[in-house]
């Protein structure tokens, strides 16, 4: 018997939804059942341009998608300020929720969303694509290897890209009414997730924002950073996120015995293969005239792009819940909530004069 495909409904015609629509069609266990936009015309055009199946329904509202019995799960790429409303409504309609990042404006909103999902017994996942690349699994293997990596000591993560004039004027990510977290919510989300991922999701004790973030005229953050501290083992992490610098998507992780670097962790330069660079047990050569070994490149191929692997994993979890055999996997709620907690701590540190903010789950 062929596996039943999970049928997605999509709320809105955001640009990112084009990429995720393609992923839903690439993933063998998912399909697209409906899309809704406030503009029916836009929804029709979007469905056509993105090769939706003929069976897909096109609506002039988000509500219609939530009311469609042929929709198992919704993908929510709406502006962050609308997440709590539509994710909660979706959960109440028993739709599983794949939610774009940043998942909420603050952890209070996220808790409302998570409570609705739990109450309805639906699966929640945030749309952090790089988590699902096989390279990420391989890097975690390196991190976990006592001989090649040892104990984790520090992480530095950067995500910057240069927003052009139109982006910096009109994009929802710089609009205080739509995505008031700005670069912190958009770019910083990935950096913070990378730091938590490297730390096996152990929360830091404190988060301290760097002085003098960049802001636009509306007070939305365009660039910022912070340091994170763990009392155990003297671990430290730092990140920097920005809409004002040329593209950089780095994680550098240092352990006692080894380290690794990745330069395109969020979106690999190539869809087919992702690289990272690792080295361990480095030594100075005689007279410290050089050092060896040099870092080695590891190339990890993937049949499906990372966003299709994300959709596939979400579909797998949803299928399990629908079968009645398992409960929703709560891993994704927990890592979303921890990521959001750090974002909230950075905001609080900035608002309170760059003081350290204690992080409590």
Catalytic amino acids?
Answer: 101
Distance CA 99, CA 126 (A): 5
Distance CA 345, CA 208 (A): 8
| HSE-CB of 33 using CA atoms within 13 angstroms | 20
Q: 93 or 173, CB closer to a second copy?
A: 173
Strand 96-99 relative to strand 73-76, pairing: parallel
**Nearest of 174, 185, 76 to residue 125 by alpha carbon:** 76
Question: How many Å is the maximal CA-CA distance in the chain?
Answer: 73
Distance CA 230, CA 173 (A): 31
Query: What's the token pair of residue 244?
Result: 């004002």
| Tokens 């062929």 -> residue | 2
Q: 42 or 263, CB closer to a second copy?
A: 263
Which parts of this chain interact with a second copy (CB under 8 A)? Answer: 16, 18-19, 22, 150, 153-154, 156, 158, 160-162, 206, 208, 210-214, 223, 225, 227, 229, 231, 234, 236, 238, 240, 242, 244-248, 250, 252, 254-259, 261, 263-264, 267-271, 277, 279-284, 287-292, 294-295, 305, 354, 356
Q: How many residues does the chain have?
A: 361
Q: 50 or 336, CB closer to a second copy?
A: 50
Least Å distance, CB 20 to a second copy, is 10
Least Å distance, CB 135 to a second copy, is 14
Q: Between helices 331-351 and 107-120, what is the axis angle to 10°? A: 160
Distance CA 191, CA 195 (A): 6
Q: 91 or 184, CB closer to a second copy?
A: 184
């Amino acid at each position: 018997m062929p596996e039943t495909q999970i049928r997605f409904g999509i709320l809105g015609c955001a640009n990112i939804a084009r990429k995720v629509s393609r992923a839903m069609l690439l993933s063998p266990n998912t399909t697209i059942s409906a899309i809704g936009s406030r503009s029916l015309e836009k929804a029709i055009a979007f469905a056509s341009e993105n090769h939706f199946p003929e069976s897909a329904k096109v609506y002039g509202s988000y509500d219609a998608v939530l009311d469609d019995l042929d929709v198992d799960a919704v993908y929510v790429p709406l502006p962050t300020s609308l997440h709590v409303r539509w994710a909660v409504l979706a959960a109440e309609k028993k739709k599983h929720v794949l939610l774009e990042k940043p998942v909420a404006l603050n952890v209070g909103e996220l808790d409302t969303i998570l409570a609705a999902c739990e109450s309805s017994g639906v699966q929640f996942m945030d749309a952090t694509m790089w988590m699902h690349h096989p390279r990420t699994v391989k890097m975690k293997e390196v991190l976990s290897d006592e001989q090649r990596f040892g104990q984790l000591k520090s992480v530095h993560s950067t995500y910057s890209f240069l927003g052009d004039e139109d982006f910096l004027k009109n994009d929802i990510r710089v609009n205080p009414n739509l995505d008031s977290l700005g670069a912190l919510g958009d770019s910083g989300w990935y950096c913070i997730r990378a730091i938590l991922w490297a730390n096996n999701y152990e929360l830091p004790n404190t988060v301290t924002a760097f002085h003098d973030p960049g802001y636009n005229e509306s007070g939305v953050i365009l660039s910022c950073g912070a340091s994170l501290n763990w009392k155990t083992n003297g671990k430290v992490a730092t990140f920097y996120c920005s809409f004002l610098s040329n593209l950089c998507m780095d994680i550098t992780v240092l352990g006692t015995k080894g380290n690794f670097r990745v330069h395109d962790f969020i979106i690999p330069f190539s869809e087919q293969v992702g690289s990272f660079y690792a080295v361990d047990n480095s030594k100075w050569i005689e007279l410290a005239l050089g050092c060896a070994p040099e870092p080695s490149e590891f190339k990890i191929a993937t049949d499906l792009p990372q966003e299709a692997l994300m959709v596939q994993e979400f579909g797998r979890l949803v299928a399990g819940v629908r079968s009645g055999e398992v409960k929703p996997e709560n891993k994704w709620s927990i890592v979303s909530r921890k990521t959001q907690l750090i974002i909230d701590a950075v905001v609080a540190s900035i608002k309170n004069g760059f003081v350290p903010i204690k992080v409590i789950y």
